[in-house]
Amino acid sequence: METPIGIAFNDFVMVATDQTCAHSILLMEDTCEKTYSLSNHLLMSAIGQSGDTTEFAEFMTKNIQLYKLRNAYEMSPSEAANFIRRNLADSLRSRNPFHVNLLVAGFDKKSEQAELYSMDYLAGMVKTEHATHGYGGVFSSGILDRHYKPDMTVEEGYNLLKNCIAEIQKRLIINLPNFGVQIVTKDGIKSLKPIMLERVAFQK
């Protein structure tokens, strides 16, 4: 039932991920972080089995940081996405594959472009302008298709995320009250104000 939403614009990329941690029918926590900073201009949102997401995210973070230390420069979003995909594909051939769905977002300083990659647990990957995972994507994909523009400002992009989340909270039977929001620009990664249920106005 987890839902990450990623949107890439001309100068930045935004990722919103629900903060709900559940076990069976119990809500354990509603402030759980599912987005991980891989480097100064790269982040990854991971959903799936809780143990798999944490282990895989930490493994990727440490390896990407090690690459930076060895080579004195960061991986580009494209390089990082392909590196992550390769590791996910390799795990499928092991006895304990990682069951995770990912959004990889970053800003390429060479091309000065924001990039977004969507990856599923079978290591299928696509570069896209906007992407979602989970049941929430059923309700938000239509809004993104209709209202997305690549030249939107940060405020307009944030409002587009709010519209998507409002529809998810209105239509989805499972409660997803809080969404953490991160933005990646040429200046790095920054957290924006979380989008919470009581702050979203449902439109009739």
pTM (two decimals): 0.91
- DSSP secondary structure string for all residues of 63-109: HHHHHHHHHSSPPPHHHHHHHHHHHHHHHHTSSS---EEEEEEEEET
Q: What is the pLDDT of residues 39-78, one digit of tens each?
A: 999 999 999 988 899 999 999 999 999 999 999 999 999 9
Give 71-115 pLDDT, tens digit per residue.
999 999 999 999 999 999 999 999 999 999 999 999 999 999 999
The whole-angstrom separation of Cα 189 and Cα 198 is 26
For residue 200, name the pLDDT band (cuts at 50, 70, 90).
Answer: low
Domains and CATH numbers, the chain: 4-199 (3.60.20.10)
